[in-house]
Structure 1
Amino acid sequence: MARRLALAGVAGALVLLAGLLWLVVPWYASGPAESDTTFTVAEGASLRTVAAALAEAGLISSADGFVLRARVLGGSGHVRAGEFALPAGASPATILDTLQSGAVIRRLVTIPEGMPSVLVHERLMAEPLLTGSIPVPAEGSVLPDSYAFERGETRQAVLARMQRAMQAALSEEWERRSARAVVSTPAEAVILASVVEKETGLASERPMIAGALSNRLRTGMRLDADATTIYPITRGRPLGRMIRRSELDDPNPYNTRAIAGLPAGPITNPGRDAIRAVLNPADTDALFYVADGSGGHVFARTLSEHNANVARWREIRRQRGI
């Protein structure tokens, strides 16, 4: 009798051990994925829905087995929405841990300084991992920067982050403005900064360009910025030809070749540095500037000095066969 009981106990222990091994070993064993991959969990997806998708993607062997073991061995955490990186051969335990507490993959969309809104719209619409549609954003409403996003996120959500970033940056820089700033509102700061952004490609020149343009506004001179003439024609796209005399003379509210003061609105999306430059312009008496042939500009206080600089620039262009 005692021997039978002992044998029964041993048999029971073996059955229990076998059950534990059946439950535990597959949970920590390498999975079937042959290469690194990504897996996306939809917002609100249940554990069973995720398991079925993992099985269909060939990342686990059994959806039912994954759900059972996850509930017994996987703790009480919930799977999170987002896109996750899974290594080749990831075990079910590793997969669940990644989906519960791993880092969500974030990608970047970059808006360069001075990119007009029509091109911001094109860039967002061309990103295949974003969803939904957006209108062309208001010019000057987007802060150029690199923005992280998740696969499946809406374009409207990403655009809203870009626009909130502009409002935050503008607010911060406005509080730091100097007494030399000629603009009287944050909206005017964006307009003038957009002109500065188009007038120079050198970050180091922005304060001087802003200083010269501020002096022109202060004295009632026209800004005479070609980019403001082009903007109503192309909305920020390259013109691809010389500006016509009729366009230079057109007194539309953007054309600072024909009207005094600021253009009617921004002509691009200026970066933080351009905004900072117009709110803290260089302390200069310059009113004029022209290209110097090396990518920058030479500045002048008087028209006669400016005319001499223009002559030198024309000679440089002649020598280069332009």
Structure 2
Amino acid sequence: MSSLVKQSIVSDLRWWKVIGKLRPDLTGIRAGTYQIKEGYNLEDILVEINTGKEYQFKVTFVEGSTFKEWLDNINKAELLIPLQKTEAEIIEALNISHEKLEGLLFPETYYYSAQMSAFEIIKKAYLHQTSVLEKLWADREKDLPYKTPYEALIMASIIEKESGLSDDRDKISSVFVNRLRIGMRLQTDPTVIYGMGERYNGRIRDKDLREKTAYNTYTIDGLPPTPIAMPSEAALYATLHPAKTKYLYFVSKGDGTSYFSKNLKEHNRAVDKYIRGK
């Protein structure tokens, strides 16, 4: 109660004695962080505090964001206790069998009370993503070229980064499935960018496409070793329910949609039109 006086929310502690006699039901104050709205009188304030319903802060992680971006958001989050563990220590604490957290956390808005640990949000996001992936994996299409749910997670992260509109996701998924089935490299720019790390400055040059990194799908066969971002449930669904097509190529049309092609000749014409402006 004294803190309310210090903040000039309550002017005089003598009111407390009066309230204790008249409204003893309002004296069970619970410690916490509460939102006192403009215009509240003393009774309104005490009712709010007696509920024990603390003010909920929020931190948002967008679809397709990376673990590095999650850390930036966490460090900026108001009254959230920063992570005290390294990525390796988090993985050990959560008993995860993979070497990176990339892709394993569900992107959405998380609410928290003041002084909650950021680790609790990471844990909640991991359990949510695990639950979504398990459910979708159990209901996947037959004969997909993915041996494990983790491989599907890797592909979903690529589809998330490649898709502007959700309507295109299942067709983009079909392109990658078709390529994997015939042993054709995925050749997707987001994996190149992820492999470049801090060196990426907004441009991909020809030498970047030729550089052999663990993630460059222009130079490696099959999937990269880990996801490259945190995929949404929609991207996971598209991964496990690809459209039935014969497409092997796609190019962005610049409006969030893609143009799909069945052969290289048609694809090159699309590149000339939508990328080179010919």
Equivalent residue for 2:252, pick from 291, 314, 319: 291
The Cα RMSD (Å) is: 2.5
Aligned positions of 1:120-199 closer than 5 A: 120-134=70-84, 135=86, 138-179=101-142, 181-199=144-162
CA distance, structure 1, for counterparts of residue 155 and residue 21 of structure 2: 60
TM-score calculated relative to the size of structure 2: 0.85
Partner of 1:115: 65
CA distance, structure 2, for counterparts of residue 275 and residue 77 of structure 1: 50
Identity %: 29
Q: 1:70 to 1:162 in 2, by over 3 A?
A: farther
Aligned positions of 1:47-86 closer than 5 A: 51-63=1-13, 65-66=15-16, 69-70=19-20, 73-75=23-25, 78-86=28-36
User: Given that residues 114 and 194 in structure 1 are in contact (C-alpha distance below 8 angstroms), is that contact kept between their aligned partners in structure 2?
Assistant: yes
CA distance, structure 1, for counterparts of residue 59 and residue 239 of structure 2: 27
Equivalent residue for 1:306, pick from 264, 267, 270: 267
SS at the partner of 1:86? Answer: coil
Partner of 1:231: 194
Q: 1:287 to 1:127 in 2, by over 3 A?
A: same
CA distance, structure 1, for counterparts of residue 24 and residue 102 of structure 2: 50
Which ranges in structure 2 are unaligned for 5 or more consecutive residues?
Answer: 88-99
Q: 1:276 to 1:89 in 2, by over 3 A?
A: closer
TM-score calculated relative to the size of structure 1: 0.74
Aligned positions of 1:224-263 closer than 5 A: 224-234=187-197, 239-245=201-207, 247-263=208-224
CA distance, structure 2, for counterparts of residue 179 and residue 281 of structure 1: 11
User: Given that residues 57 and 78 in structure 2 are in contact (C-alpha distance below 8 angstroms), is that contact kept between their aligned partners in structure 1?
Assistant: no
Which ranges in structure 1 are unaligned for 5 or more consecutive residues?
Answer: 1-50
Q: Which has the higher contact order (CA 8 A, sep 6+)?
A: 2
Q: 1:302 to 1:90 in 2, by over 3 A?
A: closer
Superimposed CA distance per residue, residues 164-209 of structure 1 (whole angstroms, 9 cap, x where no aligned partner):
2211221222222111533221111110011111112111111100
Q: Which amino acid aligns with 2:229?
A: T
Rg bigger for which structure? 1
Partner of 2:229: 268
Equivalent residue for 1:106, pick from 20, 45, 56: 56
User: Given that residues 181 and 278 in structure 1 are in contact (C-alpha distance below 8 angstroms), is that contact kept between their aligned partners in structure 2?
Assistant: no
Partner of 1:4: none
